[in-house]
Amino acid sequence: MKITFYGHASLGIETNGKHIIVDPFITANELASHIDINELKADYILLTHAHGDHVLDVEAIAKNTGATIVSNAEIATYYSNKGFNAHPMNHGGSWQFDFGRVKYVNAIHSSQFPDGTYGGNQGGFVIEADKNIYVAGDTALTYDMKLIPLRTRLDLAILPIGSNFTMDAEDAVIASDFVECNNVLGYHYDTFGYIKIDHEATKKLFTDKGKNITLLEIGDSIEL
């Protein structure tokens, strides 16, 4: 499994011969100006919630690629009504896709499209493919994270660390305990003033607890 960071909370995941884009907010992110969305491959687009900083480039990428949009029922319906391929999910539900199994899990945040349309209840994704990962989405620290390792042994937890709108790095350390995964990829940080972080201090929080956190440069990848 290869995971590429496109800035903010945007990810590319390559697994079992398929390409997945998560929460594409790229063209309005000055830090990601070197990323050309027209060059991105996508068989699926996974959306954690409907905020503009997570759905901005969905329609452009879906038009370019024909990707299937996977999200909660409200978001899937929103895009289905616009003529896009969509697969609806809801909390606790799983589906076996051609690349692996996806479970939509709880997150604590808000969810509304930029045009004011209700975006349903926000969530995260547990993906079981050639490796098992947790994409937390925008969320506070929640005890529900403790449910994840009861079913899935994770190889990587992708956690927001920017604070203000989500949990901070200290809470992310606790979240990694809850999901029983010491290998963390941080995201949702630095994009704008509210969520700028001290990278070295963040890394120290994790290393002091015997954990590993990766903070990728935009456009860089890791392989599991």
Mean pLDDT of 90-102: 98
Residues in the chain: 224
Mean pLDDT of 116-137: 98
- For 196, the 3-state DSSP assignment is coil
**Could you tell me which residues come within 8 angstroms of residue 138 by beta carbon, excluding any fewer than 6 positions away?**
9, 48, 49, 51, 54, 107, 109, 122, 160, 165, 166, 188
Which domains, ranges and CATH numbers included, belong to the chain?
A: 2-216 (3.60.15.10)
Structure confidence by residue, pLDDT tens digits, 47-89: 999 999 999 999 999 999 999 999 999 999 999 999 999 999 9
Structure confidence by residue, pLDDT tens digits, 19-56: 999 999 999 999 999 999 999 999 999 999 999 999 99
Stretch (H or E) spanning 215 = none
Say how far apart CA 21 and CA 42 lie, in whole Å.
6
CA distances in angstroms from 159 to 61, 79, 198, listed in the order given: 24, 26, 16
Residue 92 backbone zone (phi > 0: left; psi -120 to 50: alpha; other: beta) = left
| Model confidence, pTM | 0.98
Say how far apart CA 224 and CA 219 lie, in whole Å.
17
